[in-house]
Amino acid sequence: MTQDTSYYVYALKDPRTSPAVPIYIGKGTGVRSHDHDARPDGTLKGQRIREIQEAGHQVLIARLVEGLTEAQALRIEAELIAAFGTVASGGLLMNTVMPAGLGAKARLQLVVPSGVKEKAQVGLGLVKDAVLELAQANPAGITNSETASLLGLRSD
């Protein structure tokens, strides 16, 4: 069985600066990298995209790495977000993922390996996207319990 290597990591860049500054790092397949520009959402990223468009420019979309498995793409995405930082942490990116090192450790003896916070935040973003898709596909409504069960989010 061959692995799916259709994933890539991309950057959205603001063309109003020279060099163009990255404003978002993501992973995807197919035309995912173009979805943000075509349908800006209500996030800070969406607001910045609309500002760029209203100024008469187009967001630059750069595929940084291609031919990846999903796990590889998630890792590279998390590492790049951590490297550039998010606006919320004083960095450049409009991503909602928080880079490592911003939260205090609950106990000093706990070891937090590099990149695990980013991976967790990327995972939470994927869960959020899945829940929203499920909710949209069920306009009559769906309970939290049904959502957790259908998405396999129950834990022992």
Question: CB-based burial of residue 85 (10 Å sphere; 0-12 exposed, 13-18 middle, 19+ buried)?
Answer: middle
Closest CA to 77 of 89, 93, 90: 93
Reported as a single tens digit per residue, the pLDDT across 10-53 is: 999 999 998 999 999 999 999 988 888 888 888 899 999 999 99
Domain annotation covers residue 1: no
Q: Is residue 93 part of a domain?
A: yes
Structure tokens at 71: 């796990």
% of the chain at pLDDT higher than 70: 90
Q: Which amino acid is at 104?
A: A
Confirm whether 17 is domain-assigned: yes
Segments forming the whole domain that contains residue 18 = 7-150
156 within domain boundaries? no
pTM here is: 0.63
If residue 75 lies in a helix (H) or strand (E), which one and from where to where? helix 70-84
Residue with tokens 């990591």: 9
Instruction: Reply yes or no on whether the pLDDT at 99 is more than 80.
Output: no
| Interval 60-93: pLDDT, tens | 999 999 999 988 898 899 889 888 888 887 889 9
In the chain, the number of structural domains is 1
Average pLDDT of the segment spanning 103-121: 67
